[in-house]
Amino acid sequence: MRNALGSVDTVLLLGGRSEIGLAIVERLVRRGARRVVLAARGAVVPVEDVERLGAEVHVLDFDAARPETHTALIEEAVARVGDLDVVIPAFGVLGSQAVYDADPVAAARDVAVNFGGHVSVGLAAARRLREQGHGTLVVLSSVAGVRVRKANFVYGSAKAGLDGFAQGLGDALHGSGARVVVVRPGFVIGRMTRGMTPAPMSVTAAEVADAVVAALDTRKGTVWVPARLRPAFAVMRLLPRPLWRRLPR
């Protein structure tokens, strides 16, 4: 439950080593969050970094590829810290289209994480938020899913599915007191994209985190990072397919 000052008090980060996820947690703790659950595979997370900010930190083992464990994980997080104010699924695999072309099994496995894992966690978290009557699920989508490019169409298609799922889930939660924030960043410069050439209008994890925290304050439902990507993609959606195919990879 938000504290007496209206600040977020409890946060669950699924993907507890995510640069974006940890940047969001850091900002929320600095603004008053006092109980944080970091969940990651093998329970290997930077506990000390968050504790140093003054939060009580709980650690859980989380595997995005095992949806049968996700409901129990949400329940365990609640048992540790009580009602969940903010839930942030921040896990995923960027992958390589060339690898996927050569190995369809690898493509299916990564899509199961990038889409299926989020569906499982999202539904489990939404059920808890609905029962509470409050709380926000932050879904990290991507402009890669707004219109899928040939350069990364497996990854982009999973993000497109996730974006649609998040919008539908937000509609389903309307009126319950709980809500979904859909975040659509452009190319994020960081560990996941190291060695890649940044795309135009690239952002950092810190910039994404700032936008998410602002959305929590203003109750926006959809956030583009940076904001100027929204009009840019309004145009890109209208490009004829032959022209879209010719865009640089």
- What are the catalytic residues? 155
Strand, coil or helix: 95? coil
For 107-119, b/e burial (b = at least 16 CB within 10 A) is: beebbbbbbbbbb
- Determine which helix (DSSP H) or strand (DSSP E) holds 187, and give its type and residue range: none
Report cis status (omega within 30 of 0) of the bond before 198.
Answer: no
Q: 153 and 115 in contact (C-beta within 8 Å)?
A: no
Token pair belonging to 19: 């640069």
N-term to C-term CA, the chain: 45
Q: How far apart are CA 242 and CA 246, in angstroms?
A: 7
